[in-house]
A and B are shown apart, each in its own frame.
Chain A
Amino acid sequence: MIRILLKKQLTEIFRKFFVDTKKNKARSRLSTILWFLIFAALMIVFMGGTFGIYSYGLYPIAQVGFGWLYYAIFALLSVLLGIFGSVFSTYSGLYLAKDNDILLSMPVPVSSILTSRLLGVYFIGFIFSSVPMIPAFVIKFIFVGYSAWEICAAVLFLFLLSLIVLVLSCVFGYIVARISVKLKNKSYIVVAIAIAFIALYYYLCYNAGAFFSDLIENVIFYSEKVKGSAYPVYYIGSAADGGVLPLAVCFAVVIAALFITVYIISRSFIKIATSANVTARVKYKQKEQKVHSVAGAILLKEAKRFTSSPNYMLNCGMGVLFMIAAAVLMLIKAGDLSGLSDMRLGDLAVKDYIAVIAVAAMFLMISTNDIAAPSVSLEGKALWQVRSLPVDTKIVLRAKYLLQIYINAIPALFCAGCVIAVIRPDVLTGLLIALLTAAYVVLHALFCLFCGLIKVNLEWTNEIVPIKQSMSVFLALFGGWGYAVAVGGLYFLFDMYLSEYLGGVGVWVYLALILALTVLFAALFYKWINKKGVKIFESL
C-alpha cells in the first residue's frame, strides 16, 4: 500500500517531468529521461558547483584541524536549503493535499497515507540538503584526505541531515499551514518572504569571500565561540567529521524528535487534513461601492490579477525592485561615479559612455518587468467573460499594456533622475535620458503585449506556465534585453566611426537617434496592437 501511495506522491512531485503542462499531455519516456537529466545537471553544475567553490574557499580550516567547524557551516547551509526547498511542499503535500479527502474515504490506513506523504517530503529534503553537503565532503576528501570510516560517516551523516530537515520541515510546514489559514494578504507576504530570501542569498554570495577570509584568519576565536554558545552545532560538525559518539548521539536525538513529530502528526492528521483548507473568512459588509468607468474597471481587473498572484509579481515585476535598488546604490556611490565622469580614456569621454551605459542598464531593468506578456494567456478559461461583455477589445488590450507602463514608469523615472543627478550631464543629454527612459517604458509594454498576442496559450492548468514558461515571456524578456545590449553596444561603433565623420558631435546625437527609433517602434507596435492584435484577441 505504502509503495502505491509513494509512487503517486512522487509522480505528483515530479509531475513536470512526466507531463507537458503547456500541452497538458504525457511526455514520452525519452522526454522524461531528458528532463530528469537536465534537472540533475542543473543541480550538479549550478548548485553543486556553487557549494563546491565555497567548500574550496573554506577547506583550509579543515586542514588546520577544524574539520568540525568546516562541516558545521555546510550542515547549517544544508538544513537551511533543505527547509527552504521542502517546507512549502510539506505544507501543501502533507497538510493541504487535494486528495486527502479521497484517500481518507478509501480503505487505506491513515498511517500509510501519512508515511507516504512523509516519505515524499523526506525525498525532497534529502535532495536539497545533499546539494551543499556532498561537495563539502568531496572537497575535504580531495584536499585534506580521508579514511574508510570518514566515508562511512559521511554517508551516515547525509541520512542524519535529511532526517533533521524532515523534522524541521514538518514543524515549519505545520506553522506555515496554521498561519496561512489566518492570513488575508497572502500574496504580498509570499512576495516579501521570497524577496527576503533572495536578498539574503545575494548578501551571502556578495560577502562570502570576506566571511571566508575572516573565518580562516580567526578560526580559533570562532571555534571557541561556537563551542561556548552553540554546542549542538559543534556536535553536529563533529558527527560529520567522523566522531563516533557525536554521530550516535545526534542520531539518537534526531530519531527521538522524529518519533515525537510523527506521533503528534498522526494523532492530529485527520483533523488537520480535513480542516486545513479552510481559508481566513472575510466578513462581508454591505457598503457603498465605488463606481468606475469601463476603462477603469478593466484596468483594475488587470491590477487585481497582478497583485493576487505571488508568481506573477515575482516573475514579471521584480524589475521595480532592481530599479529602486540601483537608483539608491547610485546615490550612495555618487562620489565614485562623479570622479569617473570627469575622466578621459584617450579620445573617449567616459562621461558619455556612462550616460549610454546607464540608459542601457535602465532598459535592461525595465525589460525585466514583462507584465503584459503573459496577460493575454492568463485570461485562460475566463476569456468568455471579457468577450461577452460590452467592452471594446482595444480597451481590454490597452489595460494590459497600461498596467505595465504604470508599474514601470515611476521607478524607471526615479532611476533616470538619479542617473542624471549623479553623472550631471548637460541639459540636453539629461532631458534625452529622461525622455528615452519614458519612451522605452512605453515601447517595452507594447512589445510585451505584442509577444503575448502572437504566442497565446489559453490551455494551461497551472498559472506558472504562461507566467514563467511561455514563449511570449521568453520573447519579451530576451527581446528587451537584446534591445538594451544593442543600445549600449552600438554606441561604441557610433563613437568610433560616425561621431568623427559627423564632426565630433556629442552623445546627445546618439541618444536622440535612439529616442527617435524607440518612439518609431512604439508607434508601430501600437498600430499593430490596435489592428492585428484586436483581431487576434477577438478570434481566440
Chain B
Amino acid sequence: MLKIEHLTKTFDTVKAVDDLSLTINPGEIYGFIGHNGAGKTTTLKSVCGIQNFDSGEISFDGISLLKDPIAFKRQIAYIPDNPDMYDYMSGVKYLNFIADIFGVGAAERKERIKKYAGIFELTNDLGQPISSYSHGMKQKLALIGAWIHSPRLIIMDEPFVGLDPKASHLLKEMMHEVCAAGGSIFFSTHVLEVAEKLCDKVAIIKNGRLIKSGTMEEVKGDSSLETVFLDLEAEK
C-alpha cells in the first residue's frame, strides 16, 4: 500500500504541491488528473524519490522513502512522460542494465524480455541503439524496463502519450494484470475518457492541492468525469 501523507513541495516561493495526502491500495489503478502545471509530475517525481520534498511522508508497505529509499525504490517502477533514456545503449543493453539493478536472474530476464518485447513488437529493434528509436519505441522500451522486474507499484506520467492504439490497448491489459496479481498502478493522464474507463480510483489536483479523490463513482456520481473535472476547474 502506498501512503502519501501531507506532501508539500515548494519551488522558490511557489507551492507546487500543498499538503497532499493519498492512499493507494493493492490491486488499484489510481488515476491522477489535473491541468498543466497543477503539480501532478512534481507529486509523481517526489513519490518515486527523484525529487526531494519539503515536508510530508511517503511510504510503501511501511517502508519509508525518506528513511530507506533503496528498499522503497526496489518495490516500484517509474516511467516519466518523456522517457529520455541512455541513448548510447542498445535496447537490450538497457533492459539488461535495469535487470542487473533489480537483481533479476538470467533465465527470468530472458523470458521477460522475450515476452514483453514480443507483446510490443520491439524484438527486432532490441539490437539497435536507443538513439535511433522513435518516441513511441522509447515509451515501449521504458514500459518493458518497468515490467521486467515485476514491481509491486508502477508509477507512470502520461503513459499513453506517443503510444499507438494497439500498444495503448496492450498497456491497459498489462495494467489490469499487475493489479490482478496484487500490484497497483498510479498514473497521471489528461485523457479523461481513459481515466474513466480504466481507473478504480481517481484524484483531482489543482494548483498543488488535492480537490477531490475517491472511487470513480464517488468522484463523478452520475455525471461524466469530464463534467466534474471542468466544474472543479471553473471553481475559484
What is the interface of chain A, defined by CB distance below 8 A to chain B? 279, 281-286, 288-294, 296-298, 300-301, 304-305, 308-309, 380-382, 384-385, 387-392, 538-539
- A281, A284, A301: the one within 8 Å of B97 (CB): A301
Task: Point out the residues of chain A lying under 8 angstroms from B48, CB to CB.
Answer: 388
Asked whether A289 and B109 contact (CB < 8 A) given A282-B128, A283-B127, the answer is yes
Closest to B109 in A: A289
Shortest A277–chain B CB gap in Å is 9
Decide: A304 and B127 in contact? CB cutoff 8 A: no
| Pairwise interchain contact B70-A391, C-beta atoms closer than 8 A | yes
A238 vs B87: C-alpha distance when bound (angstroms): 52
A388–B79 Cα distance when bound, in Å, is 9
New A-B contacts (14) at CB < 8 Å, excluding given A390-B69, A391-B70: A279-B128, A286-B113, A289-B96, A291-B109, A301-B89, A301-B97, A308-B88, A381-B84, A385-B86, A388-B48, A389-B73, A390-B70, A390-B74, A390-B102
> B78 within 8 Å of A by Cβ?
yes
Partner of B50, one of A290, A388, A391: A388
Whether A291 contacts B84 by the Cβ 8 Å rule is no
Chain A residues near B132 (CB, 8 Å)?
279
For B45, list chain A residues within 8 Å (CB): 384
**How near does chain B come to A287, taking the closest CB pair, in angstroms?**
8
- Minimum C-beta distance from B75 to chain A (A): 8
Sample of 7 A–B contacts (CB below 8 Å): A279-B129, A282-B128, A284-B91, A286-B123, A293-B100, A380-B84, A391-B70
Mark contacts of B34-45 with chain A using CB atoms, 8 A cut-off: 1 yes-contact digit, 0 otherwise: 000000000001
Chain A residues within 8 Å of B153, by CB: none
On whether A289 and B85 interact (CB within 8 A), knowing A384-B80, A390-B71, A392-B70, the answer reads no
**Which residues on the A side are within 8 Å of B127 (C-beta)?**
281-285
Report the nearest B residue to A535, measured CB to CB: B52
Closest to B123 in A: A284
The interface residues of chain B lying within 8 Å CB-to-CB of A538 are 52
**Residue of A289, A292, A294, A391 with highest tally of chain B CB at under 10 A:** A289
Is A296 a contact of B100 with CB atoms below 8 Å?
Answer: yes
Chain B residues within 8 Å of chain A by Cβ, number: 47
* B84 in contact with A382 (CB, 8 Å): yes
Task: Tell me the bound Cα distance from A290 to B100 in angstroms.
Answer: 9
Could you tell me if A304 and B89 are in contact, using CB atoms closer than 8 angstroms?
Answer: yes
Query: Does the CB pair B100–A297 fall under 8 Å?
Result: yes
Query: What's the least CB distance linking A121 to chain B, in Å?
Result: 25
Give 3 nearest A-B pairs by CB, closest first.
Answer: A297-B100, A284-B127, A308-B88
Docked CA distance A382–B123 (Å) = 23
B36 to chain A, nearest CB (A): 19
User: Which residues from B are CB-within-8-Å of A390?
Assistant: 69-74, 101-102
Residues in A with CB closer than 8 Å to B99 are 289, 291
B92 near A289 (CB under 8 angstroms)? Answer: yes
Q: Report chain B residues within 8 Å CB of A289.
A: 92, 96, 99, 106, 109-110, 113
Q: Which of A284, A382, A384, A539 contacts B125 (CB 8 A)?
A: A284
Contacts A293-B100, A297-B100, A392-B70 hold; do A286 and B88 have CB atoms under 8 A apart? no
Who on chain A is nearest to B100 by CB? A297
| Distance in angstroms between the alpha carbons of A292 and B70 in the assembled complex | 18
Neighbouring A residues of B97 by C-beta, 8 Å: 297, 300-301
Residue ID in chain A nearest B48 by CB atoms: A388
Is B49 an interface residue when CB atoms closer than 8 A count as contact?
yes
Q: Say which residue of A284, A308, A387, A389 sits within 8 Å of B101 (CB atoms).
A: A389
Instruction: Decide if B124 is an interface residue (CB 8 Å cutoff).
Output: yes
A381 to B80, CA, bound (A): 11
Q: How far is the CB of B116 from chain A (nearest CB, A)?
A: 13
A539 proximity list for chain B (CB < 8 A): 52
Q: Check if B49 sits within 8 Å of A387, measured CB to CB.
A: yes
Q: Please indicate the chain A residues that have their CB under 8 angstroms from the CB of B67 in the complex.
A: none
Report the Cα distance A297→B103, complex, angstroms. Answer: 10
Given contacts A286-B110, A389-B73, contact A384 B50 (CB under 8 A): yes
The answer to whether B100 touches A292 (Cβ under 8 A) is yes
Contacts of A296 in B (CB 8 A): 100
User: B105 — which chain A residues lie within 8 A by C-beta?
Assistant: 291
Complex CA distance for A390 and B50, rounded to whole angstroms: 11
Contact A309 B88 (CB under 8 A): yes
Least Cβ–Cβ distance between A421 and chain B, in angstroms: 39
Closest chain B residue to A392 by CB distance?
B70
Given A288-B106, A292-B100, A391-B101, A384 contacting B84 (CB threshold 8 A):
yes
Chain A: minimal CB distance from B96 (Å): 5
A288 to B91 Cα, complex, angstroms: 15
**Please, which residues of chain A bring their CB within 8 A of the CB of B101?**
294, 297-298, 389-391
CA A345 to CA B45, docked complex, whole Å: 67
Q: How far is the CB of B68 from chain A (nearest CB, A)?
A: 10
Given A289-B96, A390-B102, also A281-B70 (CB < 8 A): no
Closest to A388 in B: B78
Interface: B168 (CB within 8 A): no
CB within 8 Å for A305 and B106 given contacts A284-B126, A296-B100, A384-B80: no
Bound Cα distance A285, B127 (Å): 8
Closest to A294 in B: B101
> Which of B71, B89, B110 is A288 in contact with, Cβ under 8 Å?
B110
Say yes or no: is B90 at the interface (Cβ < 8 Å to chain A): yes
> In chain B, what residue has the closest Cβ to A285?
B127
Asked whether B114 is an interface residue with its Cβ less than 8 Å from the other chain, the reply is yes
Is B93 at the interface (CB under 8 A from chain A)?
yes
- Distance in angstroms between the alpha carbons of A387 and B109 in the assembled complex: 22
Verify B70–A388 contact, CB threshold 8 A.
no
Residues B90 and A282 in contact, CB atoms below 8 Å apart = yes
A292 nearest CB neighbor, chain B only: B100
A300 to B106, CA, bound (A): 17
Asked whether B90 lies within 8 Å of A382 as measured between CB atoms, the reply is no
Q: Across the interface, which residues of B come within 8 angstroms of A384, CB to CB?
A: 45, 50, 78, 80, 84
Residue from A300, A309, A389 having most chain B Cβ neighbours under 10 A? A389
| Chain A residues, CB < 8 A from B72 | 390
Q: What is the bound-complex CA distance between A82 and B75, given in angstroms? A: 57
A284 and B124: CB pair below 8 A?
yes
Least Cβ–Cβ distance between A24 and chain B, in angstroms:
15
Chain A residues, CB < 8 A from B84: 380-382, 384
| Complex: A298 Cα to B86 Cα, angstroms | 12
Q: How far is the CA of A380 from the CA of B80 in the complex (A)?
A: 15
How far, in Å, is B65 (CB) from chain A's closest CB? Answer: 11
B96 proximity list for chain A (CB < 8 A) = 289-290
